[in-house]
A and B are shown apart, each in its own frame.
Chain A
């Protein structure tokens, strides 16, 4: 059974870079699968951040595209999220997920990131 686990700093300073890792176990990175990042600000709804395919092609939320990079390391069964020039508006719970068809099928438990000085 696939398991995903997010990790990274829980506190990032304004104007800094938010960097998160999603560690994947029980699933292959060579099965034509897509991997997403989704976030949820406190008391708010879900927001899709972006996705990466096993081949490394990416799609991003148009409202975040200029600041976001998603990458992967197949050898480590990990994929990554970087958001540059963060502000308080980037404070949120961040989830990584594996796709089932074009849906986010399996989710990690999430990691909360606060942007504050």
Chain B
């Protein structure tokens, strides 16, 4: 059973370009979370999605950031017009669902390290 997969692992963009980060959850998991981690800082929640639904995006910046989790295919975190402050590690996690500890346990992907030049 493959774990959570993220690609690319490293992404370099120039200011103003777009960044697309992909996350494939573990098999059987229908819940996906995106987090951002700045150097020397903790994980910050960004968005929580189920298939075709954004459940909570309270941690997402209001502009330039968007996320989706289509019926088919991976979840995508999209950052438009990137700026240097977007440089960070972006982690995706998945869980089976809600309702109890087993369902809510999150498993993380290896992350995408975004560097904006």
Co-assembled chains A and B: no
Q: Which residues of B contact A (CB under 8 A)?
A: none
